[in-house]
Amino acid sequence: MNVRALRWASIAASLVVASRADAYCRSRTVRDVACDTFDASGCPTCGVPLFWRSRCVGFSLQQDASKQVAYDAAERAVVRGFARWSAAPCPGGTASIDARDLGPVLCSAVAYSTRAPNQNTIVFRDGTWRPDGATSNPGGLRGETIALTTTSYNTRTGELVGADMEINTAQFSFSAAGDPAPDAFDLEAVVTHEAGHFLGLAHTGDRSAVMYAGGETGRTLQRELKTDDVDAICEAYPSDGSRTVDVGVAPSGQLAATACDPEPANGLATECTANASPSCRFAPARHVGHMHATLTVIVLALFRKRRNRATMRA
């Protein structure tokens, strides 16, 4: 299996959404900046869309949480953020994907192991954001990236097998209770955005939507899903339990979901796995033997700070 580490610059992502119509896009196995074909809505068409096959997926909050936000408060914000996507009203019911809280873990690494137990970790970076410096921060925008979500998936089918979320508490202030202060980001809004990436959704050009690639301090606007967000999650995870996939994966464009199994691939580990691929360090391409699947690790989230309120709806 060829495990590749790819970087998606946040500035490039923002240019993509700014140049197309306001419509949702699915994250795909080929990053936007490497694609030159688009559909009528301006969404890249390279590769295949990402999806979780199971009817549910688990996540684990790193036990230290943050100096800014205690574990219990952070957990509530994360649970509510994921629940908004699961409760999205789709034709015939709600979205057929559910996220389960598997409890705290010790591990704070962003990594995926093809052989050992894993954890889909949510971690706050209080000390240093992207420890390797500017080269490990997409686009080198060290002062603008509020959060990142990294996913691992099968490059042939688009099936997701792992995801990790990082919150930049080293450079930004966050609030998990009530309305945030004028200089603080609403944690629930940020997590709801990142949860969309966790579930396989890309950015949208709709500035009012949760999946718009920007956030503003002092506001809770992006807590609530908008029509664009609902359309995206319902397209990926229809209420009938199917998964909308590329026709090359299934001729009908639909796969049946498997039964709910929230545990990560190979089971849940509370501590870091010794042989995990350190995706947070974006190591050079590595070849790892594991059946016949091909997995790719890619930074998806890139939730950026709006420079000022005046440009919010420009």
Q: In one letter, which amino acid is 229?
A: D
pLDDT for the residue numbered 237 = 98
pLDDT tens per residue across span 93-112: 999 999 999 999 999 999 89
pLDDT for the residue numbered 32 = 77
pLDDT for the residue numbered 22 = 55
End-to-end CA distance of the chain: 45
Structural contact between residues 255 and 160, judged by C-beta atoms closer than 8 angstroms: no
Structure tokens, 54: 């199971």
Q: Which residues of the chain have pLDDT under 50?
A: 1-21, 132-142, 278-314
What is the residue whose two structure tokens read 């209770």? Answer: 177
Note down the domain range covering 260.
Answer: 2-311
Shortest CA distance to 19 belongs to which of 6, 47, 46, 38? 38
- Chain centre distance of CA 217: 20
Instruction: Determine which helix (DSSP H) or strand (DSSP E) holds 84, and give its type and residue range.
Output: helix 71-86
Structure tokens, 22: 């306001």
Computed over its alpha carbons, how large is the radius of gyration of the chain? 18
pLDDT for the residue numbered 145 = 87
Q: How many domains is the chain partitioned into structurally?
A: 1
DSSP 94: E
CA distance 79 to 61: 10
CA distance 235 to 84: 16
pLDDT tens per residue across span 41-99: 888 889 999 999 999 999 999 999 999 999 999 999 999 999 999 999 999 999 999 99
- Residue 266's domain is classified under what CATH number? 3.40.390.10
pLDDT for the residue numbered 215 = 85
Structural contact between residues 256 and 243, judged by C-beta atoms closer than 8 angstroms: yes
pLDDT for the residue numbered 4 = 28
pLDDT for the residue numbered 221 = 84
pLDDT for the residue numbered 277 = 57
pLDDT for the residue numbered 132 = 45
- Chain centre distance of CA 204: 14
